[in-house]
């Protein structure tokens, strides 16, 4: 083989190995670009950053600071039986900002069993605190920041007992709550901003239609206790409403 041909063959080999290296180190930023119409899975109306996921606790390598700022008034105005979930609605005026986006506290609801798994383990219940940022432009998509709280069986939970008997028996009904009757503070017995210091964060989607892929998930590491009777009572109302886990496709947990 002439030396010039040999050299170009070597360059060819080098470029091949550079390509394979590139695909191995896919960054989450690049994954977000996959979320385009032409990359959607045929017949399924979503892309590749879906939720929930199985979180491998030893894969949390970096502790990226998400600069969370809370203005939290802890005012819950209503409890709803939506048939597929039990939901508590926040009064206006509480907000959380993270990475330059300001989200308004909207509602929190329950899944039985949990949607997220930690190291392959399902929990009997998961609560989602849903915070919403409206679209920046007319045709834009909203952004969400969802705080996920996992429950294990244990002692009766004070926060749940504050509203459990008030949940409407019939689905698609709402019961208004007096101010101060139900407080998120009674769930954590700590400031929410302190609870927000230990989490698994990743970028994913809503777990119900339309599966919008603009969700910053913060799954809290603190596992909360609730009694088996309380968890069963919520499951009796909403049924098994956990979406099954989705493929990670190279996303990072930080
Ligand atoms: Zn949910």
Span 109-128, pLDDT tens digits: 999 999 999 999 999 999 99
Between the CA of 15 and the centroid of ligand 1 the distance, in Å, is 45
Sign of CA dihedral 229, 234, 235, 237: positive
Residue found by looking up tokens 């609605």 in the block: 89
203: which strand partners?
216
User: What separation in Å is there between the alpha carbon of 130 and the centre of ligand 1?
Assistant: 8
Q: Is residue 230's pLDDT more than 60?
A: yes
Band of pLDDT at residue 166, cut at 50, 70 and 90: very high
Q: How far is the CA of 8 from the centre of ligand 1 (A)?
A: 55
Is residue 164 classed as helix, strand or coil in its secondary structure? helix
Note the pLDDT of residue 190.
83
Domain boundaries, the chain: 1-27, 35-238
41 band by pLDDT with thresholds 50, 70 and 90: low
What CATH topology corresponds to 35-238?
Carbonic Anhydrase II (3.10.200)
Q: In this model, does residue 38 exceed pLDDT 50?
A: no
């Amino acid at each position: 083989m002439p030396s010039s041909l040999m050299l170009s063959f070597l360059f060819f080999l080098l470029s091949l190995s550079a390509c394979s290296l590139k695909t191995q180190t896919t960054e989450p930023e690049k994954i977000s670009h996959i979320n385009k119409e032409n990359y959607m899975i045929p017949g399924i109306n979503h892309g590749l950053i879906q939720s929930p996921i199985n979180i491998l606790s030893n894969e949390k390598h970096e502790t990226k600071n998400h600069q969370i700022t809370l203005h939290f008034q802890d005012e819950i105005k209503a409890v709803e039986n939506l048939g597929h979930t039990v939901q508590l609605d926040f009064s206006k005026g509480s907000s959380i900002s993270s990475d330059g986006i300001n989200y308004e506290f909207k509602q929190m609801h329950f899944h039985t069993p949990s949607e997220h798994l930690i190291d392959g383990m399902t929990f009997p219940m998961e609560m989602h605190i849903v915070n919403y940022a409206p679209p920046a432009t007319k045709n834009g998509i909203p952004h969400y920041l969802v705080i996920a709280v996992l429950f294990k069986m244990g002692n009766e939970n004070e926060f749940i007992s504050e509203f459990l008997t008030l949940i409407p028996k019939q689905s698609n009904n709402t019961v208004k709550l007096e101010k101060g009757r139900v407080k998120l503070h009674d769930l954590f017995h700590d400031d929410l901003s302190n609870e927000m210091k230990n989490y698994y964060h990743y970028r994913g989607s809503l777990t119900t239609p339309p599966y919008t892929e603009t969700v910053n998930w913060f799954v809290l590491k603190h596992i909360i206790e609730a009694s088996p009777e309380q968890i069963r009572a919520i499951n009796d109302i909403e049924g098994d409403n956990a979406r099954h886990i989705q493929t990670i496709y190279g996303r990072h947990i930080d």
